[in-house]
Amino acid sequence: PVKVTKICCIGAGYVGGPTCAVIALKCPEIQVTIVDLNKARVDAWNSDDFDLPIYEPGLEEVVRQCRGRNLFFSTDVDKGILEADLIFVSVNTPTKKSGVGAGFAADLNYVELATRRIAAVATSSKIVVEKSTVPCRTAESMRTILEANSKPGCRFDILSNPEFLAEGTAITDLFSPDRVLIGSLQTKEGKDACRSLTDVYAHWVPIERIVTVGLWSSELSKLAANAMLAQRISSINALSAICEATGANIDEVANAVGKDSRVGPKFLRASVGFGGSCFQKDILNLVYLSESLHLPEVAAYWRQVVEMNEYQKGRFSKRVVDTLFNTITGKKIAILGFAFKADTGDTRESAAITLIKNFQAERALVTIYDPQVLHSQIWSDLMEASSGVPLETIKRQVSIASSALEACRDAEAVVIATEWKEFRTINWEGVYSHMTKPAFIFDGRLLLDAEKLRDIGFKVTVIGRGERL
């Protein structure tokens, strides 16, 4: 097997950045270069004051230790490719917006462009690692492209090495992964390439956690893992609707169910709906794959996980309107949290976007506060969600506050959309005294102590609880 000394990662995003920064930290003798076409992003990774393009607890410390030593960020994609003996392809694979499979299939254009660039530039053999989440058998297409365009004497071995990190906990997930999955062809060359990558991870990951499988199993396992995680959330959210209708308490149900060691306690927190760049995209991808394979029942099964999530967001919005005496027109509603989960500034597919859109449609006045998300990001998300409504028009209904207290001033209702810990320690008495009465709180994240809030005077509605306000 080739001993890896130089790694290039194409794509300096949420996955490529943290993953390869951690490889650089743990493998000081390997030179790691992360390249990206997006100059602003690369500049941010290189900024003197470490104003990194993504917020991730612990990431800055890792970058501070390695940048300039054996970790480099660059826009020179070709140089990165030329020098490396192992290349991660970690570009985005969003859901296709048009053409065949629009709304379901993964857009593989960026993967293909990166692959073609590798073939065009490489003058020596490379191990090419598919890090992006892709449909089953994409590695096959990458191999065909590479082989059809390679220079004489260059061979390309393709590996699949999907990433399982979750945002907000990326660094701890990377330091101590449940498993690292590497898929390869079961040929001698394929297995050798797999050894080379295994040796990189073995610098810090116990060998029994490095799982090696066939290429297609590896690709499918990534989609399967995300589909099953999302399915747990849709299952608990479906049960939360029953709780609200019956007076059962979803926290108690989840706790009781999760005590069964076959089910386990994690990932059973009812919410306003899952968000993030992965779950919906990857399930839709699996739905498309199932349909392409003429398995309509399988496709329908997984599609329901996404439909339940849409239902949950709509159901929560409706509960807010119903509770506020069936109209929120002209009422001020404070939205606490805009990120799709706590500890990230990422807003992709955030449930908050849908809630706000629904409240806008009811002609409410919305004020948003989030401790991490950039204001410019909030505006661009709301513009995209309202397809073409000018920013000036949106701003007549929506504003952004710089603290939770400011967002809640004169509001009729507060909606918890993201589970930021700091919302627990807000001075709720102070908030109450500045709100219009009756003052309502809608906890979409099971975050707050409802009884304490009721003692202050709030009318509290909690997801998955059908009790008195």
Active site residues: 278
- 267 residue type, one letter: F
Q: Is 177 annotated as belonging to a binding site?
A: no
Which residue in the shown chain puts its C-beta closest to ligand NAD?
A: 13
96/341 with CB nearer ligand UDX: 341
Mapping DSSP to helix (H, G, I), strand (E, B) and coil, where does residue 264 land?
coil
Q: Is 153 annotated as belonging to a binding site?
A: no
Burial profile 307-327: b = 16 or more Cβ within 10 angstroms, e = fewer: ebbebbbebbbeebbebbeee
Q: Is 167 annotated as belonging to a binding site?
A: yes
Q: Is 41 annotated as belonging to a binding site?
A: yes
What's the chain's Rg over C-alpha atoms?
Answer: 24
Q: Is the dihedral of CA 277, 282, 284, 289 positive or negative?
A: positive
Query: Locate tokens 């919906």: which residue?
Result: 280
Binds ligand UDX (CB under 6 A): choice among 341, 400, 412, 447: 341
Q: Which stretch binds ligand UDX (CB under 6 A): 176-184, 270-278, 291-299, 426-434?
A: 270-278
Q: Which does 197 bind (CB under 5 to 8 A by kind): ligand NAD, ligand UDX, none?
A: none
364 token code pair: 């409410």
Evaluate whether 355 touches 382 at the Cβ level (below 8 Å): no
Comparing C-alpha atoms, which of 391, 387, 321, 306 is closest to residue 351? 306
Residue 274 interacts with ligand NAD (CB under 6 A)? no
Binds ligand UDX (CB under 6 A): choice among 92, 221, 226, 367: 226
The site for ligand UDX, by CB under 6 A, has a size of 19
220/431 with CB nearer ligand NAD: 220
Footprint (CB under 6 A) of ligand NAD, residues 54-113: 77, 90-93, 110, 113
Q: Which does 12 bind (CB under 5 to 8 A by kind): ligand NAD, ligand UDX, none?
A: ligand NAD
Binds ligand NAD (CB under 6 A): choice among 7, 22, 25, 41: 41
- 382 residue type, one letter: L
Write down the least CB distance from residue 91 to ligand NAD, Å: 4
Comparing C-alpha atoms, which of 441, 104, 126, 450 is closest to residue 282? 104
Q: Is 191 annotated as belonging to a binding site?
A: no
Write down the least CB distance from residue 89 to ligand UDX, Å: 16
Distant-in-sequence, close-in-space partners of 465: CB < 8 Å, separation ≥ 6 = 243, 244, 249, 250, 251, 450
Cα separation, 60 vs 248, in Å, equals 44
Evaluate whether 44 touches 124 at the Cβ level (below 8 Å): no
Residue 380 interacts with ligand NAD (CB under 6 A)? no
Cis peptide before 152 (omega within 30 of 0): no
Q: Is 348 annotated as belonging to a binding site?
A: yes
Residue 337 interacts with ligand NAD (CB under 6 A)? no
Residue ranges binding ligand UDX (CB under 6 A): 163-167, 226, 229, 233, 267-269, 271, 274-276, 278-279, 340-341
Positions at the binding site for NAD(+)? 11-16, 36, 41, 91-95, 132-133, 167, 278-281, 348
